[in-house]
A = this chain, B = another copy of it.
């Protein structure tokens, strides 16, 4: 079956505001290191006012993944909602400029384009504070079943469950994908996100998802178990293909009785871990949609993750196709 796109991504379209901070700043503002917290506009204003100078760069978990897919040379399309404001324009420019097709109509009214205030601590960890803004306007009308049917894999982020209409958009896309004999994939996004939607996510994994992405904390949270081994066993029972990432311990692909373990790619200096999981998924999905064996998909994921954590920002700075 021919396909116009390798991967169609659906995500919260967000501009990152990245700033350095120390542990004292996190403590002072009640922030949990390494997590993503949803904040309202008022809180976003207060926190921004307290933050140091920042850089603005397009982000959003799935947006980062799609940038990675394009950087590998893959054909990608993205669906996400921004407003018709300056940051919305920045988001649209950047994802288009890297070669991803992006046609979701921009909101003409309502909340402004989403921002994620990211604090990078000296240990290279990132702590994210997301104001969803215009993302809450994404809905089923933004999903074109033809577009979905033209992509080998439809990939979504668990974070979309934070916007109720966006969840409906995802479910519509999943139906369209399967109706066209295509695959669907999800990242669990964040252990706190899993906490919020555990039952729904378990149901999805059991009944709809073809490729599941999750890190250690996320799958432990999903199955409410204490150890990685128990989580992996549960995932093996429930998921068709599960891709489990473990930071510097590398990653594992689990499919039925089979397991492929791939070590992490070497990194000279970890500067900013923002986007590690997003870029891992990009490498894996690029490989998968180009007929690579699962272990090779995992290796490409590791390469992309290593590139993105070696600099500030969550999108590749060098063309990932050069790393293959």
Q: Which A residues are within 8 Å of any B CB, using their own CB? A: 19, 48-49, 51-58, 67, 85-87, 90, 93-95, 97-98, 112-113, 313, 315
Contacts and interface: CB of A to CB of B under 8 A. Distances in A.
Given A85-B86, A86-B86, A86-B87, A313 B48 contact: no
19 contacts: A19-B97, A48-B93, A49-B93, A51-B97, A52-B97, A52-B98, A53-B95, A53-B97, A53-B315, A54-B90, A54-B94, A54-B97, A55-B313, A56-B56, A56-B90, A85-B85, A85-B86, A86-B112, A86-B113
Contacts of A85: 85-86
A316 to B, nearest CB: 9
A4 B145 CA distance: 63
B93 A53 contact: yes
Interface centre among A48, A52, A53, A86 (most CB of B within 10 A): A53
Given A55-B313, A56-B56, 11 more contacts: A48-B93, A49-B93, A52-B98, A53-B93, A54-B93, A54-B94, A55-B57, A56-B90, A85-B86, A86-B87, A86-B112
Contact of A53 (B49, B52, B94): B94
Contacts of A55: 55-57, 313
Nearest to A56: B56
Nearest to A20: B317
A309 B156 CA distance: 39
10 closest A-B pairs by beta carbon, nearest first, are A56-B56, A53-B94, A86-B86, A55-B57, A53-B97, A52-B97, A53-B98, A86-B87, A55-B55, A85-B86
Nearest to A18: B55
Contacts of A95: 53
A26 to B, nearest CB: 17
Contacts of A49: 93
Nearest to A48: B93
Nearest to A115: B86
B53 A67 contact: yes
A174 to B, nearest CB: 29
A67 B53 CA distance: 10
Contacts of A112: 86
A277 to B, nearest CB: 20
A232 to B, nearest CB: 36
A315 B54 CA distance: 11
A317 B321 CA distance: 29
Contacts of A97: 19, 51-54
A313 to B, nearest CB: 7
